[in-house]
Amino acid sequence: MADIMMWEAIMRAHDEEMANDPMVIAMGEDIGVVGGTYKATTGLYDKYGEQRVIDTPISENGYTGLGIGASFLGVRPIIEIMSVNFAWLAMDQIFNTAAKVRYMSGGQLQAPVVIRSPGGTAHQLGSQHSARMEKVFMGIAGLRVVTPSSPRQAYGLLKSAVRCNDPVFINEHELMYNMRGDVPEDEYFHPLEGSEITREGRDVTLFGYNISVHWCLKAAELLSKHHGIEAEVVDLFTLSPLDREGIRNSVSKTHRAVIVEEAEPAVGVGAEVMAVINEECFFELDAAPMRVSALNVPIPYNHAMEKAALPDENNVVEAVRNMFGV
């Protein structure tokens, strides 16, 4: 195993896939000469040149459409949108073209394109740079959506996404690029479907994805230490297609569920997971499922207000204590 940061894992995946297949290219704002806002493409421009590592204009709709169009002809683009907040500008290309072209062409065309973009709330970036948009992407038929919670997942998911013939959106979290973790030294491909149990438990299931997985793990330790409650933590690294079987299996084991997300609760990941639980596990439940999420407000710039708007492990502990009445 290699102990590396998430941005290094993403860079390694880029490098290996570009070396493996000359049709793999990378494109986005400042990914070339600069090496990417979060260093995830460092060194690739010097190694592969400007025709395969393409610095684009500030035109998300334009370069995303260019990459998707190239994918129709056999190119396998990895498109970086510098911030998921700017992906709003490329939604027409992603939702109306990449996600639908195979279906609308009767299988004559496919879009093997990867779009990766950092999102989530970093430190004092303000409302227009703190979007949590995963719930929007996961609602689009024809588009795969994955979100890594570790360097291992970031590396393996990107490699699998590049070789997938479906369009894949990779939702990364801005605060996790410097997170360290073990990544296999041998080539590793992570499944694009499913979920992972990151902590075994018997009393309640905590569902999370990307950064909220780590809040769940911290909360599980606190619950075990102070309250004798053993929580199972499930990492929903795939948001579309959602792992309904994995959700069902864990809830059938623990009979309680808390879904944890950084985003606002309305029409969110937590709402969809709760729907699965109610539809498929209702008679397994010993308590009503609960959600832990952000306040339904634009993220403030002020540091204290920003922190107050977001959940953390303490909110997860409080939700579980309320569920158990302790």
Enumerate the active-site residues: 60, 129
* Beta-sheet pairing, 231-235 with 204-208: parallel
Reported in sequence order, the residue ranges of 17-132 that DSSP labels E, i.e. its strands, are 24-28, 53-55, 76-80, 114-119
Rg (CA), the chain: 20
**CA of residue 216 relative to chain centroid, distance:** 16
Separation between Cα atoms, residue 183 and residue 199, nearest integer Å: 19
For residue 277, how many C-alpha atoms fall within 13 Å in the half-sphere facing its CB? 28
> Residue 116 is encoded by which pair of tokens?
């990766």
Closest residue by Cα to residue 273 from 253, 294, 291: 291
Contact at 8 Å (CB) between 83 and 56? no
The H-assigned helical ranges of the chain are: 6-20, 44-48, 60-72, 91, 101-104, 134-137, 151-162, 211-227, 244-254, 269-280, 303-309, 313-324
CA 86 to chain centre: 16
